[in-house]
């Protein structure tokens, strides 16, 4: 497809009231990415594709959400919602600039795959004026029906205008279409609004093209590709489908998942070959896991990178800015934030490591806390290579434990520890002979006196 110039027009002027939300429908996230951005990405993966976004009145929020994914996307406003053909014409000026293929997509249809779009464009490249993405609907109610004659698509009949016989057709319009660029404006301008809804239906261009002796084709896409989101129930269904697809793709690419249905991925999760993901792991945005690493059960990762053969969890939390080195370990009930843990270092139990750098092969004992925040500012903790931090230590940042430094358990470290030094940051222990028994006898007597009252 790369030789043909394509304009993808994404319609997103719906009110989306059935979402019951202050957020515009197409900005609700699927796998952590706004619905409309999924449509943009599917279009752009098809090669040299320009993007036009048609938003309704006050579509600023939608425009801003799309910009990071398609900085060069042009936004057009459809002031009044007069139908899908009218919406496409909001981008008239851009269509007129001359494209081989015009691809009409919906902002609330996030699961469409690039291959299905390519199939439509292939229809146009093959000489059709219009190519329609059809699908077999388990329940066709509400969809436009594809009316075929002698094997050719001749019309799309919307539910409200369909006869009883036509309503029995289960081959439906998925909503996505490709139109030959040089015919698009003439076809759209010929659409009228004499129908039950009083709207300018994009779907009417099929009958118009046929009446002009032009060729129209339909492709058959899987139902999932055209699933439109209207409610949060459908949003959750689409999420489940997306997750299933992506897990399957990862497993086929060499990632092991012991209970795939319990693993939640994000749109940009990158997991290399020979990584094992145990049950109930959640990936937020911006996670990269290198080969041989193991993400153990009930871990939560976001904005983190995990190097080769590292082990995370069970029950670990990696927050943004976590960089876990090769063969390093972050164990149960540990939280890491904005911290680099070098290769072979271990943070195995009940620790908080924030705004820190931990050198190679350092060992961080159970319950160690980097006290990075004084209520106003965040401060850095530096732990050198091979350092040993005894259990239940508090490292009050800013502070540096130099290479090989050894911190005694239960220390509160407020001053730098020189290389290979042993630091005690706790009161010295004293033993008083016999005093334990004296105390116990006294307390027992007090309790007995109280009971007699
Ligand atoms: C549309 C199709 C129908 C198809 C179905 C698939 C038409 C006339 N009908 O019906 O054949 O089976 O999709 O889901 O095209 N929009 C605008 N401006 C408008 C009207 C709509 O931007 O003035 C956008 C909406 O935001 C939405 C999309 O176009 O993303 C579809 O509009 P909608 O009213 O939902 O069409 P359907 O009745 O579902
Ligand atoms: Ca719809």
The answer to whether position 443 is within a domain reads: no
Atom number in ligand 1 closest to CA 173:
12
Q: Which of 192, 210, 226 is the last residue of a domain?
A: 226
The answer to whether position 433 is within a domain reads: no
Let me know whether 204 and 124 are in one domain: yes
The answer to whether position 343 is within a domain reads: yes
Let me know whether 209 and 240 are in one domain: no
Let me know whether 171 and 144 are in one domain: yes
Per-residue pLDDT of the chain (453 residues; tens, 9 = 90+): 558 999 999 999 877 789 999 999 999 999 999 999 999 999 999 888 999 999 998 788 888 888 887 888 999 999 999 999 999 999 999 999 999 999 999 999 999 999 999 999 999 999 999 999 999 999 999 999 999 999 899 999 999 999 999 999 999 999 999 999 999 999 999 999 999 999 999 999 999 999 999 999 999 999 999 999 999 999 999 999 999 999 999 999 999 999 999 999 999 999 999 999 999 999 999 999 999 999 999 999 999 999 999 999 999 999 999 999 999 999 999 999 999 999 999 999 999 999 999 999 999 999 999 999 999 999 999 999 999 999 999 999 999 999 999 999 999 999 999 999 999 999 999 999 999 999 999 999 999 999 998
Q: Is 300 a catalytic residue?
A: no
Atom number in ligand 1 closest to CA 87:
18
Which residues fall within 8 angstroms of residue 208, CB to CB, at 6 or more apart? 187, 190, 191
Let me know whether 121 and 57 are in one domain: yes
Instruction: Provide the domain count of the chain.
Output: 2
Return the exposure string of 266-292: e unless at least 16 CB atoms fall within 10 Å of the residue's CB, then b: bbebebbeebbbbebbbbbbbbbbbeb
**Cα 400 to middle of ligand 2, angstroms:** 59
- Nearest ligand to the CA atom of 176: 1
The answer to whether position 387 is within a domain reads: yes
Pairing type for strands 152-157 and 145-149 reads antiparallel
**Active-site residue, from 349, 379, 380, 402:** 349
What local confidence, expressed as pLDDT, does residue 405 receive?
A: 98
| Tokens at 324, concatenated | 């876990």
Residue with CA at minimum distance from ligand 1 atom 30: 106
**Cα 216 to middle of ligand 1, angstroms:** 20
Let me know whether 213 and 246 are in one domain: no
Let me know whether 221 and 301 are in one domain: no
The answer to whether position 310 is within a domain reads: yes
Residue with CA at minimum distance from ligand 1 atom 13: 175
Residue with CA at minimum distance from ligand 1 atom 8: 201
CATH number reported for the structural domain that contains residue 65 in this entry: 3.90.550.10
Q: Which of 171, 204, 226 is the last residue of a domain?
A: 226
Measured CA to CA, the distance from residue 348 to residue 333 in angstroms comes to: 8
The answer to whether position 452 is within a domain reads: no
Measured CA to CA, the distance from residue 213 to residue 403 in angstroms comes to: 81
The answer to whether position 411 is within a domain reads: yes
Structural domain including 345 reads 232-423
Atom number in ligand 1 closest to CA 81:
23
Measured CA to CA, the distance from residue 261 to residue 276 in angstroms comes to: 14
CATH number reported for the structural domain that contains residue 349 in this entry: 2.160.10.10
- Nearest ligand to the CA atom of 201: 1
Cα distances (Å, whole numbers) of residue 373 to 16, 304, 378: 43, 21, 5
Choosing from 14, 75, 191, 231 the residue with most ligand 1 atoms within 8 A of its CB, the one to mutate for a pocket test is 14
Measured CA to CA, the distance from residue 301 to residue 319 in angstroms comes to: 6
- Nearest ligand to the CA atom of 225: 1
Let me know whether 288 and 207 are in one domain: no
Let me know whether 195 and 155 are in one domain: yes
What local confidence, expressed as pLDDT, does residue 28 receive?
A: 95
Let me know whether 134 and 258 are in one domain: no
What local confidence, expressed as pLDDT, does residue 171 receive?
A: 97
Let me know whether 154 and 188 are in one domain: yes
Q: Which of 173, 208, 226 is the last residue of a domain?
A: 226
What local confidence, expressed as pLDDT, does residue 1 receive?
A: 55
| Tokens at 193, concatenated | 């609004």
- Nearest ligand to the CA atom of 88: 1
**Cα 245 to middle of ligand 1, angstroms:** 26
Residues with a CB atom less than 6 Å from ligand 1: 11-14, 54, 78, 81-84, 86-87, 106-108, 143-144, 156, 158, 172-175, 201-203, 228
Let me know whether 221 and 237 are in one domain: no
**Cα 53 to middle of ligand 2, angstroms:** 17
Atom number in ligand 1 closest to CA 107:
30
Residue with CA at minimum distance from ligand 1 atom 28: 106
Let me know whether 203 and 240 are in one domain: no
The answer to whether position 61 is within a domain reads: yes
């Amino acid at each position: 497809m790369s030789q043909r110039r394509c304009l993808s027009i994404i319609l997103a002027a719906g009110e989306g009231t059935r979402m019951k939300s202050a957020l515009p429908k197409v900005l609700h996230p699927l796998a952590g990415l706004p619905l409309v951005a999924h449509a943009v990405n599917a279009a752009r993966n098809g090669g040299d594709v320009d993007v036009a976004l048609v938003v309704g009145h006050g579509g600023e929020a939608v425009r801003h959400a799309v910009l990071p994914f398609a900085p060069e996307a042009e936004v057009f406003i459809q002031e009044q919602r007069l139908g899908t053909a009218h919406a496409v014409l909001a981008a008239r000026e851009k269509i007129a600039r001359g494209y081989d293929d015009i691809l009409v997509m919906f902002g609330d249809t996030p699961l469409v795959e690039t291959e299905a779009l390519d199939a439509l464009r292939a229809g146009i490249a093959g000489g059709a004026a219009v190519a329609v993405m059809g699908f077999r609907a388990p329940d066709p109610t509400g969809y436009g029906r594809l009316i075929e004659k002698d094997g050719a698509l001749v019309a799309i009949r919307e539910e409200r205008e369909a006869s009883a016989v036509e309503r029995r057709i289960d081959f439906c319009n998925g909503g996505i279409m490709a139109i030959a660029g040089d015919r698009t404006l003439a076809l759209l301008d010929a659409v009228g609004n004499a129908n039950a809804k009083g709207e300018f239906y994009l779907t009417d261009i099929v009958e118009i093209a046929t009446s002009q002796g032009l060729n129209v084709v339909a492709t058959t896409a899987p139902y999932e590709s055209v699933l439109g989101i209207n409610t949060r129930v459908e949003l959750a269904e689409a999420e489940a489908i997306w997750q299933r697809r992506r897990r399957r793709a990862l497993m086929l690419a060499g990632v092991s998942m012991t209970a795939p249905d319990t693993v939640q991925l994000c749109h940009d999760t990158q997991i290399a070959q020979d990584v094992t993901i145990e049950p109930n792991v959640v990936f937020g945005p911006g996670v990269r896991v290198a080969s041989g690493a193991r993400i153990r059960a009930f871990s939560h990762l976001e904005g983190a990178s995990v190097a080769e053969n590292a082990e995370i969890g069970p029950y670990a939390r990696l927050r943004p800015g976590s960089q876990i080195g090769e063969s390093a370990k972050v164990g149960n009930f540990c939280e890491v934030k904005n911290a680099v843990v070098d290769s072979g270092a271990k943070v195995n139990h009940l620790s908080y490591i924030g705004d820190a750098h931990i050198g190679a092969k350092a060992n961080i004992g159970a319950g160690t806390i980097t006290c990075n925040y004084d209520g106003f500012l965040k401060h850095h903790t530096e732990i050198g290579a091979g350092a040993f931090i005894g259990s239940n230590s508090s490292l009050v940042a800013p502070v540096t434990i130099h290479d090989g430094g050894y911190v005694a358990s239960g220390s509160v470290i407020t001053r730098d520890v020189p290389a290979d030094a042993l630091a005690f940051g706790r009161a010295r222990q004293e033993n008083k002979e016999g005093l334990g028994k004296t105390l116990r006898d006294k307390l027992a007597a007090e309790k007995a006196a109280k009971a007699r009252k």
